[in-house]
Every structure is written in structure tokens, then in C-alpha cells.
């Protein structure tokens, strides 16, 4: 075994300090509990610095980071072009009583770039845009009900959550209907059973839910859905918060050959600077205008400047093609490493956002989790049951090193489990 | 008349461009429609730069800005101490897979600073924190209903809105109960009529709602409310998004001599950098930990670094005292200017967040709106029916100039309305 095993002494000390003043210590998708299901012993909790494809934790361990801050890091941490645009703007104006014309510039750029965008509305969270989208659908149609595809995640606003989750009421989710992913007949049946009552179908461009192999859309799925939505006056809302700009700069709906009515962007929009956008077709612009929706920092100029620089650079790099190529190179190598060690690594989803699962005959996830932990302890940041993210700063050398570490991690798991032989 | 009248030719051109690609052109509280009720002819729509107490619009007009980006500008636009902290942090790391220890540092600083804070949970919008607060109250009590005080504003999440607003369902607001502000008996009666069903009373520290004279809490109001909440197991949530840090660095609940269970901060927290915080008492920390609540940019380090610098500087400046003194100097001068021109200017709310209304015998608001428009056209940015905000960069000279411009604005209105004589 040749790779150094990380120590996390300072991480653990900081986590103890954090637990005193922050609920859960680190919460949400960045926290050990919800985000990763990696034991804290294998897992860094605090970052010291970040650059390009890497971050360093507070113990000085470096990680090749395949989570990319759960998406925002698309060009590489600390990208000079994006950060310089942000810094220059910050010297002039950021959050002001009248907004900057950067808002117009960014909206125009999105309208030019995104196939289904005739306009853009900016906010801070991906969830701000999914919420505005469903409010728009309800206001536009005068209908209440929403269809969700199983495995969905559209943020944390109460309407996106599930009955039984803490703080969620039956009223919050009373108009939510659920169908299996990729099952057009189920969609058709749901629409039929709720004739004239469906405001919108909201879904991600493909099923990249957690704790399950990811699933690309079946041939013709989106085209049939689009057609029925048109016939029935149902808005088709694409939540492109996670995939947006990684599959296709024109939108992931465009990538799969259809057009959304409303499309939600966030993570990759500004390489980590806080901004989200709802884009949509002209016919819904008036409805959006009538909705009461605003926030303290929503028209701040610094994230707009960052987003403009980020989109321009993604175009220049022809980024989706690079991420696909790199993602394929990586996942092919990981799969081979698994096979060479007698494991079956199931790779699903799009290569730019690959999902991994070490297939265990018993169907339990322990072997997968142990393998991921061995990778993380050696400086490759994977998570257990969430899709990963590629970024522009990742090099072929990073990918090769990742595969070597993954190979060693498989060997360690093999050694620790003689019963598998 | 001695003051130059602003021209807005470029503002208007930009607004036309904006309308093509952004719903409403400029939306929300920054937009002419919702935010200010000032005719676009009197009103700049886009800022070119901002520094200290001023912003300049795209036509080069300078404004002494009493809206402060609707609150975030508390130290002055482009404050060097805050921005340098943000820039230095941005060079190291911002939005990363594991968060920065700046999160801990900021949480510790809030716990040290805010009387009712035993912990802090960070997000992006004020509305993220009010939503987490009511979810916490529901999860903690197992009850559904919320009490609101008339004139409330707690963000734009559907539960905060009103039936009849576009996109809002009866389910969204089914558990909302409304009482008049400052009426303890009404609160007591509402609690009695809904015995064992009230999860929380959510309110701002004083009534600073729009389109109404603002009202400070009556003597003993909060103390009586606090006592009944304790007796009945109702959480007392203070929405300090607007007032927070302007009245008292220890929280506006502390300012009025009581303690909230949960308290929401946003605007003034980081001088415009995007961050909000829910703080609260130890006994609710476990409940918050169990709630599914997260966002892509919530643990970004740059706004944390900015917030730390902002809080430290507010402390050093003893800011609330200065804002109160300056607000009194300004509003006394404005009232005198009104009186000298035969008008009655009604000033309400706290001096640091004063609300203005030119009292018209007919009870209509046209004279007020005309006066505000004449001020804005001369470089003093007031709004019509929203409270204003003081900031640390405002000088005595700015205040004197404001009063002179306000005086001329009163004279113009007087001249345009001979029927008032």
C-alpha cells in the first residue's frame, strides 16, 4: 500500500467547537450526517483552502474533490477570470438600492445561451427558483396540483418535502402527486385521474436522486411528456439546479431534445458566487411579474458579474464536452479498477455527474461505503450515495491518480473482507 | 429654487432593455412597481456605482441613499474593512465541499453578541430563516398554527403570503391567524380560542410595516406576550431581518427588554454580502438539527468573513447609538422643514429606521408622494411608503443637505398646490 492515510485531528477539534454553536455542527448537504454517510473518522469536516480541482482540510490533507461543493465548483476553485470579475465589480457596487445593469447583461446572456429562456429572474437559492416556478404554474393555470417524479429533490421549502419530515404539515404537501420516474404511462394516468387540476410537472432532466442508481430519460420520454403537457395546459418545469451547464450550455432540456416552460438554474451559474435564476418562455413572463417574490440580496451585482464571467468561460471551454470526456475517462478507469479487484462498480447518470455504487450481492451498501471511505482517507473526495460532479480544472493526471487511489482502496476492502473471496 | 433636477434618460433606456429580458424590468422591492410607488419619471432604476452613503445612477446623478439597499448597507457602501475581509477570504476559499472554519467563528461571535443566541444557523435569505423558525416551532411543539401581527412581512415563501396573492393556495396559509399589532388582549384571546394549537407567534420587534405609520411596542407588551408564550408552550419568534443590529447589537428583543426563542437576522449582518442567520435558545437546537434544511451557498466563507468584519466594526463604532442620534437629527430637521412650509410631517418608528408621512387632511397619499418625488429628483433617495434606513457613513453634512433639499421639495409641492393655501 503506497498512499498516505489522512489524519483528521484538527478537523475533529473544530467539529467539537462547531457543535457547540451550530445545530448539527455542520448541517445540510455539507454535514456528515445528511450529506455523505461517511463516518466522521474517514472524512474531513472543515476546509482550509481550495484551488482548482482540490481543497485542503484544516489538517493539511489535500483532496481531489469530486463533489465540487455539491455542484457550484464548475471551473475550478478560485477561478481567476470569475473572481477578478467579482472583485472588480465589488469595488464599484454590489448590493444597492437600485440594481446594477449587470442584471440586464446577465439576463441577456442567459436568453442568448439557454434555449428555453426568453427571460431570467434572479434569486439566491435553487429552491427560490423552484418555488417561484410552482407559484407561477399555479397562478397561470388556476390549478393546485403538482406532479413529482420519485427520487425528486427540489430544495427544502416545505412544499418540496415529505409528510413525516420534521416541521412539515399535511397542508404543505397536500397537492403533491408522485409518479415513478421514466414511466410515461404513469404520467398519462396521473394526468387523466386529475383532469384539469394539474398545474405543473416538475422534474430534474434525468433521475439523479440520492441512494439509487441514477437513470437517464428513456427514448422519447420527454417528448411524450412535453406533448401531453401542451395538450392539457400543464407547465413543464425542469429543475436544472444540479445538471445545469454541465450537460449543455443551452440547458439540459435542450440536451435531451425538448423545451421546458420554466427552467431552474443555480449551482454552476457563477462558480460558487451566490446566485440562482429561473428562466422561461415568453408566455409566462407576465404571470411571473405579478407574483410577490423578492429578497434582500437578489439583485446584487457581484454574483451577476461572476455569473457573466462564468458563462462566457464555460462557452469558451466548450465545457460540457470536456466534462463528459473526463467523466468517461474517470469512470471507465474506476470500473476497470473494480473489476481487477473482483468488484463490480455500477456507474450511472451522465459522466459529468456520475453516480457510483459497488454492487454487493446482498444488496447492502456497506462494501460501497467502505470503499468510498478508503478513497477519502487517501485524498479522493467521493461521497457514498450522491452523484458526483466534474469540473474544468481537473487534469488527466488528477484522474489517473484518482484511479490509482481507487484501486488501492478496492485492495484494502478486499483484504478486510476475506469472506468475499 | 437652487437644486439641480435629475434627468434619467439612460435609466429609462436601460429599463426598456431590462423589460425585455426580466419580468417587470426590475422586480421586487428594488422595482418601481412594488418597492417605491414613485413614478419612474422621478426615480432612478439602475445604479452605476456606490460608495459610503451614496449611490450614483447610470445618468451620473448622485443620491444620498436612505434606503441602504433596503437595509444591507449599514456601514456604508464599499466599506473597506468588510470588503477587504471578503476579498482576502475569496483568495483562499469560498463555496467548498467542506465548509470553512469561518462558519464557527461567525457563530461564536453571534452567540457572544446576541443576547438570545445560543447557536446560529446560516442561510442566504431572511425568508430562509423565518421558514426554518416556523418549521422548528411546528416540529418542537407538534402544533400547526402561527400567529401573525397585522402589517407583518416575513419574506415571500408561500406561508408568509396572503390568500388572493398570485400563486398562493388556501393550504399555504390555512394555519395562519392574524391579530392587531400591540393589542395584548387580542393575543391572549387568540391563544385561548386556539388552546394547545399555537406553535409560534412570529412578529417584528416593532411594527415597521409598509403603507402605515410605524408603531413601537406599547409598554409591557412584549413582557406580557413573553410570559403567556412561556405558560402556553408557544415559541416567540422575532423577525429581526429589518431592524437587526440597527437598534441594538444584542438583538432588538434585547432592546425592548425581552428574549426571543428564535431570532432571524439578515440585512445588516454583512453589509450587503449574502448571508442570513437564525439564532436561538439552547432548548431548540436539537429540533433545528433534525430539520431538512440546506442550500448550495449556505456555508460559503466569503459572506462569513464579511459578517465577522461587519459585526466587529458595528461594535467598535457603537453603531446603534450613532444611527439613533443621526436619525433624530435628520427627522427633527425634516419635521421643521415641513412645518416651515405649512405641512405636517409625521415621523414614526425608530430613528434608525424612520418612517415618513406628509399628513394630508383628506387622508390621501398624493401630497406625500409628490414631496418624496421632488426629494428624489434632487438627489435625496427616500421612498414613499416604506421605512428608511440610516447607515454609518452618513455625515452631518449629508443630513444638513438632505434637510435643505427636503425644504425645497416642500416649497415646490406648495407652489404646485395653491389649493392647499
The string of pLDDT tens digits covering residues B237-263 is 999 999 999 999 999 999 999 999 999
Q: How far apart are CA B148 and CA B177, in angstroms?
A: 6
Report CB contact under 8 Å: B48, A144: no
- What is the distance between the alpha carbons of residues A391 and A50, in angstroms, rounded to a whole number? 13
| Residues above pLDDT 70, as percent of chain B | 98
> In degrees, to the nearest 5, what angle opens at C-alpha B274 toward C-alphas B270 and B277?
70
Query: What pLDDT was estimated at residue B421?
Result: 79
Looking at the complex, does the CB of residue A300 fall below 8 Å from at least one CB of chain B? yes
Q: Summarize pLDDT for B208-221 with one digit per residue, the tens.
A: 999 899 999 999 99
Delimiting residues of CATH 3.90.1150.10 domain(s) in chain B: 9-77+319-420
Nearest chain A Cα to B389, which residue?
A: A97
**For B57, which residue in chain A has the nearest alpha carbon?**
A98
Give the pLDDT confidence score for residue B361 in this predicted structure.
79
Pairing state of beta strands B145-149 and B176-179?
A: parallel
pLDDT of residue B38: 64
Closest to A47 in 3D by CA, of B145, B92, B292, B109:
B92
pLDDT for position A420? 85
Backbone dihedral region for residue A247 (phi beyond 0: left; psi -120 to 50: alpha; all else: beta): alpha
The pLDDT of residue A78: 98
Across the beta sheet with A262-265, what order do the strands follow?
A119-123, A276-280, A262-265, A235-239, A198-203, A145-149, A176-179
CB contacts, 8 Å: A172 with chain B: 171
Q: Please report which residue ranges of A273-318 form alpha helices under DSSP H.
A: 285-290, 301-316
Indicate which of A30, A80, A92, A96 best probes the interface with B, i.e. most B CBs within 10 Å of its own CB. A96
Short-list B409, B57, B392, CA closest to A96? B57
The CATH 3.90.1150.10 portion of chain A extends over 9-75+319-420
Question: Which of A37-46, A314-323, B129-138, B347-356 has the weakest average pLDDT?
Answer: A37-46
Of B21, B69, B296, the CB nearest to A111: B21
Q: Could you tell me if A92 lies within 8 Å of chain B, comparing CB atoms?
A: yes
Query: Beta strands A235-239 and A198-203: pairing type?
Result: parallel
The reply to whether A111 touches chain B by the CB within 8 Å rule is: yes
Would the CB atoms of A104 and B14 count as touching at under 8 Å?
yes
Q: B80-317 sits in which CATH class? A: alpha beta
Question: Which of B21, B72, B295 is opposite residue A297, by nearest beta carbon?
Answer: B72
Q: How many CB pairs under 8 A join A and B?
A: 345
- Chain A positions touching B197 (Cβ under 8 A) are none
Q: Stretch B332-347: mean pLDDT, rounded?
A: 98
Question: Is residue B362 very low, low, confident or very high in pLDDT (cuts 50, 70, 90)?
Answer: confident
Q: For residue B104, which residues of chain A lie inside 8 Å, CB to CB?
A: 14, 17-18, 21-22, 46
**A22–B58: do the CB atoms touch at under 8 Å?**
no
Please report the pLDDT score of residue B39 as a whole number.
Answer: 67
CATH code reported for the domain at A80-316: 3.40.640.10
Is the C-alpha dihedral spanning A340, A341, A343, A346 positive or negative?
Answer: negative
- Cα distance between residue A246 and residue A111, in whole Å: 17
pLDDT score for A193:
98
How confident is the model over B180-189, as a mean pLDDT?
Answer: 98
Q: Is B49 on the interface with A (CB under 8 A)?
A: yes
Task: Measure CB to CB from residue B126 to each of A90, A158, A296 and give the nearest one.
Answer: A296
pLDDT > 90 in chain B, percent? 92
Of A50, A70, A92, the CB nearest to B49: A92
pLDDT confidence of residue B36: 55
Q: How far apart are CA B309 and CA B103, in angstroms?
A: 13
Among B312, B304, B280, B90, residue whose Cα is nearest residue B202: B280
Q: Architecture of A9-75+319-420 per CATH?
A: Alpha-Beta Complex (3.90)
Contacts of B135 in chain A (CB under 8 A): 158, 166-168
Q: Please give the residue of chain A at the shortest CA–CA distance from B119.
A: A21
Chain A residues in contact with B86 by the CB 8 A cut-off are 90
Q: Is B365 on the interface with A (CB under 8 A)?
A: no
* Residue B82, pLDDT score: 98
- Look at A171 and B175 and tell me if their CB atoms are within 8 Å: yes
Interchain contact B78–A (C-beta under 8 A): yes
**pTM, entire model:** 0.98
Give B34→chain A minimum CA distance, Å: 8
Q: What is the mean pLDDT of chain B?
A: 96
Contacts of A121 in chain B (CB under 8 A): 22-23, 27
Q: Which A-chain residues 241-270 have CB contacts (< 8 A) with chain B?
A: 241, 266-267
Q: In chain A, which among 175-194 make CB contacts under 8 A with chain B?
A: 175
Cα torsion A293, A297, A299, A304 to 10°: value is -130
In angstroms, the Cα distances linking B101 to A20, A39, A160, A238, B308 are 13, 20, 30, 35, 12
Q: Residues B121-145: what's their mean pLDDT?
A: 98
pLDDT tens-digit series, residues A356-403? 999 987 778 899 999 999 999 999 999 999 999 999 999 999 999 999
pLDDT, position B34: 54
Is the separation of the CB atoms in B278 and B262 below 8 Å?
A: yes
* pLDDT tens by residue, B363-377: 788 999 999 999 999
Name which of A100, A167, A291 is nearest B166 (Cβ-Cβ).
A291
Mean pLDDT of B164-169: 97
Ranges in chain A annotated CATH 3.40.640.10: 80-316
Which fold does the domain B9-77+319-420 belong to in CATH?
A: 3.90.1150
Out of A46, A289, A293, whose CB is closest to B156? A293
Q: What is the pLDDT of residues B28-49, one digit of tens each?
A: 877 776 555 666 788 899 999 9
- The answer to whether B156 contacts A26, with C-beta atoms less than 8 Å apart, is no
ipTM above 0.95, yes or no: yes
How close, in Å, is residue B220 to chain A by CA atoms?
A: 31
- Please list the ranges in chain A whose pLDDT falls under 70: 33-39
Q: What is the pLDDT of residue A33?
A: 60
Locate CATH 3.40.640.10 in chain B.
80-317
Pairing verdict, β A355-358 and A345-348:
antiparallel
Amino acid at each position: 500500500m503506497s498512499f498516505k492515510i489522512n489524519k483528521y485531528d484538527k478537523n475533529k477539534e473544530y467539529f467539537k467547537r462547531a457543535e457547540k454553536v451550530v445545530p448539527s455542527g455542520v448541517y445540510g448537504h455539507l454535514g456528515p450526517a445528511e450529506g455523505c454517510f461517511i463516518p466522521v473518522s474517514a472524512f474531513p469536516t472543515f476546509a482550509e483552502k481550495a484551488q482548482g480541482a482540490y481543497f485542503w482540510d484544516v489538517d493539511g490533507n489535500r483532496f481531489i474533490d469530486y463533489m465540487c461543493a455539491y455542484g457550484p465548483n464548475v471551473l475550478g476553485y478560485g477561478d481567476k477570470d470569475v473572481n477578478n470579475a467579482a472583485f472588480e465589480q465589488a469595488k464599484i457596487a454590489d448590493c444597492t438600492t437600485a440594481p446594477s445593469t449587470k442584471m440586464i447583461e446577465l439576463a441577456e446572456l442567459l436568453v442568448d445561451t439557454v434555449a428555453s429562456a426568453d427571460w431570467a429572474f434572479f434569486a439566491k437559492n435553487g429552491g427560490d427558483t423552484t418555488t417561484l416556478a410552482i407559484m407561477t404554474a399555479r397562478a397561470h393555470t388556476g390549478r393546485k396540483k403538482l406532479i413529482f417524479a420519485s427520487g425528486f429533490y427540489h430544495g427544502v421549502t416545505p412544499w418540496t418535502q415529505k409528510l413525516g419530515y420534521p416541521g412539515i404539515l399535511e397542508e404543505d404537501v397536500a397537492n403533491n402527486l408522485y409518479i415513478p420516474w421514466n414511466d410515461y404511462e404513469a404520467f398519462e394516468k396521473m394526468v387523466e385521474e386529475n383532469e384539469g387540476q394539474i398545474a405543473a410537472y416538475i422534474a430534474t432532466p434525468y433521475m439523479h436522486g440520492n441512494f439509487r442508481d441514477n437513470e437517464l430519460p428513456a427514448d422519447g420520454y420527454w417528448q411524450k411528456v412535453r406533448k401531453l403537457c401542451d395538450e392539457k395546459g400543464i407547465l413543464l418545469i425542469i429543475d436544472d439546479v444540479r445538471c445545469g451547464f454541465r450537460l449543455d450550455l443551452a440547458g439540459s432540456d435542450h440536451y435531451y431534445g425538448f423545451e421546458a416552460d420554466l427552467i431552474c438554474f443555480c449551482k454552476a451559474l457563477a462558480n460558487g458566487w451566490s446566485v440562482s435564476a429561473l428562466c422561461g418562455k415568453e408566455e409566462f413572463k407576465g404571470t411571473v411579474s405579478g407574483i410577490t417574490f423578492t429578497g434582500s440580496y437578489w439583485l446584487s451585482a457581484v454574483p451577476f458579474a461572476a455569473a457573466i464571467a462564468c458563462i462566457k468561460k464555460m462557452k469558451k471551454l466548450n465545457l460540457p464536452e470536456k466534462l463528459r470526456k473526463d467523466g468517461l475517462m474517470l469512470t471507465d478507469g474506476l470500473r476497470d479498477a473494480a473489476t481487477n479487484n473482483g468488484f463490480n462498480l455500477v456507474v450511472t447518470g451522465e459522466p459529468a455527474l456520475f453516480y457510483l455504487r459497488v454492487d454487493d450481492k446482498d444488496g447492502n451498501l456497506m462494501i460501497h461505503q467502505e470503499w468510498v471511505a478508503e478513497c477519502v482517507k487517501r485524498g479522493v473526495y467521493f461521497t457514498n450515495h450522491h452523484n458526483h460532479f466534474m469540473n474544468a480544472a481537473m487534469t488527466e493526471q488528477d484522474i489517473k491518480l484518482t484511479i490509482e487511489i481507487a484501486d488501492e482502496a478496492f485492495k484494502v476492502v478486499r483484504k478486510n473482507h476475506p469472506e468475499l473471496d
